Amino acid sequence: MLIVDSQVHLWAASTPERPWPKVLRSRPQREVPLGRDEMLREMDAAGVDRVVIVPPAWEGDRNDLGLAAAQAYPGRFAVMGRFDPDAPQSRGMIAGWRQQPGMLGFRFSLHAPALKPLLTEGHLDWVWPEAEKHGIPVMVLVQQADVPLIDKVAARYPGLRLVMDHCALTTGKDEEAFREFDKLLAIARRPNVAVKVSCLPLYTSDSYPFRWLHPYLRRVYDAFGPRRMFWGTDFSRLPCSYKQGLTYMSEEIPWLSADDKEWILGRGVCEWLGWPLPE
């Protein structure tokens, strides 16, 4: 079975040669950067075949490390990249975006106060039709309260493939984290929207195997189905080992069939993003 993690961040330390932005829109998830070599060791130890690299916001709108990893290991890494929708040069980048070796699509973080205006003030309004036109999938991280805004995008651009990151979880634990979960489930009626069941252990005070999450996972499964439900870890802030971040989903949920797991654990995200399956 192909195992694919739908989200990890890779980054490097800020240096004079490669500085981070002076004003950070988010903070690193750990003090020591997570690099390609460490990620490969973790993948090999856990039995993960591939990961989708999501360049982190604290490095700014750059994709160089992710693309370098994908080009060095094309069977193991691919990238959902970042760009600044307000930069004049961005409008000329869309048509050739997926021609960059290793690049699959876009990812926008829209949940934090410094990032939310990209969605609420119309900065992305020109991006959605261009992404639909050129067949570029888009991952978005929004608060559950803002899922209806993405629902409007999905309805207006039915050919645009959207992915809701982390089940739209952004803060809190347990009931607090899932307090507006119904808004995430409601967008499942759009066939062009999928969901990442990624980073979920962070949002519960339960310990491995995180059985507190099972009823919510079942609701996601019932709403989206296994072909639009993608496992992931966001490893750099996972509150357990990387292996456990996989096995709580692959071994500890009794109602998932072997066919369900094939889609949820890897095949689904590859087909949705257009990352060719291995022969």
Q: How confident is the model at residue 27 (pLDDT cuts 50, 70, 90)?
A: confident
Question: What pLDDT is attached to residue 24?
Answer: 73
Residue length of the chain: 279
C-alpha distance from residue 226 to each of 19, 91, 97, 211, 268 (Å): 41, 35, 28, 19, 8
Where does the chain show beta strands of DSSP type E?
4-8, 50-53, 77-81, 103-109, 138-141, 162-164, 193-198, 229-232
Phi, psi of 97 (to 5 degrees): -60, -45
Q: Measure the CA–CA gap between 156 and 153, rounded to whole angstroms.
A: 5
The identity of residue 156, as a single letter, is: R
Contact 228, 195 (CB under 8 A): yes
Residue 21 confidence (pLDDT): 87
Q: Can you list the alpha helix ranges (DSSP code H) found in 109-256?
A: 117-120, 127-133, 147-156, 174-177, 181-186, 214-224, 242-250
pTM for the model = 0.96
Mean predicted confidence (pLDDT) in 27-51: 95
Q: Which of 1-15, 111-125, 160-174, 203-217 has the lowest mean pLDDT?
A: 111-125
How far apart CA 113 and CA 117 sit, in angstroms, is 7
Q: Three-state DSSP class for 77? A: strand
Return the pLDDT at 22: 83
16-30, 52-66, 150-164 — most confident range: 150-164
| Distance, CA of 54 to CA of 70 (rounded, Å) | 12
What does the pLDDT look like over 90-113, one tens digit per residue?
989 999 999 999 999 999 999 877
Give the distance, in angstroms, between the CA of residue 220 and the centroid of all CA atoms in the same chain: 16
- Asked if omega into 209 is within 30° of 0 (cis), the reply is yes
Residue 116: pLDDT band with limits 50, 70, 90: confident
What whole-number distance in Å separates Cα of residue 277 and Cα of residue 75?
Answer: 9
